[in-house]
């Protein structure tokens, strides 16, 4: 049976259902699906939800169109507030966001995420954008790992570099003990 609902639309609906009114959500750069989810949640059941729009510096962007990246500066148009990178890091270090949506260039069975490089760190086969806020994500109450596609190069036995800790046995070295880890 063919469905008229795209996978990305279904993912946005599932994410939106997991967002509660009054929460603070943080989105990374490649976050079109989570942007759709927070906008849907605000309209359907969570009008007091606030969301940090990636690297753009926008809070609660009401831009009528859905951009490919939360880091796109156009998210500033119609935003309730603009924050600096220092503000974002401060909020993340304090574990303030309640929910975060994460992706990566590698994800392992423990939910560890790599955004730094594939291969040896000193001589990588590929470089990623860097860890940005991923090290802090382990301290957030709800972390969702989402992937647009499943590929053996993406879903690996063990990540080459831990940018964001999941549920690995070494988690206590990196994470706040009270945090639950990614879903």
Closest CA relative to residue 37, chosen from 18, 21, 52, 24: 18
User: Please, which pLDDT band fits residue 158 given cuts at 50, 70 and 90?
Assistant: very high
**What does the pLDDT look like over 135-147, one tens digit per residue?**
777 677 888 888 8
pLDDT at 38 over 60: yes
* Three-state helix/strand/coil letters over 73-102: HHHHCCCCEECCHHHHHHHHHCCCCCEEEE
**Inter-residue contact 117 to 128 (CB < 8 Å):** yes
Give the pTM: 0.85
Q: Show the domains of the chain with their CATH numbers.
A: 7-173 (3.40.1080.10)
10-14, 53-57, 66-70, 168-172: which is most confident: 10-14
**Inter-residue contact 114 to 159 (CB < 8 Å):** yes
pLDDT at 36 over 60: yes
C-alpha to C-alpha distance for 133 and 125, rounded to whole angstroms:
23
HSE-up (13 A, CA, CB side) for residue 50: 15
C-alpha to C-alpha distance for 113 and 85, rounded to whole angstroms:
22
C-alpha to C-alpha distance for 123 and 108, rounded to whole angstroms:
21
Torsion of Cα atoms, 89 then 90 then 92 then 98, to 10°: -140
β-pair type (58-59, 50-53): antiparallel
């Amino acid at each position: 049976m063919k469905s008229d609902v795209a996978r990305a639309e279904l993912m946005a609906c599932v994410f939106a259902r997991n967002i509660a009114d009054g929460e603070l959500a943080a989105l990374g750069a490649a976050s079109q699906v989570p942007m759709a989810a927070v906008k849907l949640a605000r309209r359907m059941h969570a009008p007091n939800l606030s969301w940090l729009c990636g690297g753009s510096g926008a809070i609660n962007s009401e831009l009528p169109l859905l951009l490919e990246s939360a880091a796109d500066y156009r998210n500033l148009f119609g935003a309730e507030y603009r924050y600096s990178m220092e503000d974002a890091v401060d909020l993340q270090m304090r574990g303030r966001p309640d929910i975060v949506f994460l992706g990566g260039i590698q994800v392992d069975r423990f939910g560890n995420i790599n955004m730094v490089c594939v291969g040896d760190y000193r001589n990588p086969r590929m470089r990623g954008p860097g860890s940005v806020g991923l090290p802090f994500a382990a301290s957030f109450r709800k972390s969702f790992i989402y992937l647009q596609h499943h590929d053996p190069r993406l879903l690996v036995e063990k990540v080459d570099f831990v940018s964001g800790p999941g549920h690995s046995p070494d988690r206590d070295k990196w994470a706040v003990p009270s945090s639950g880890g990614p879903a």
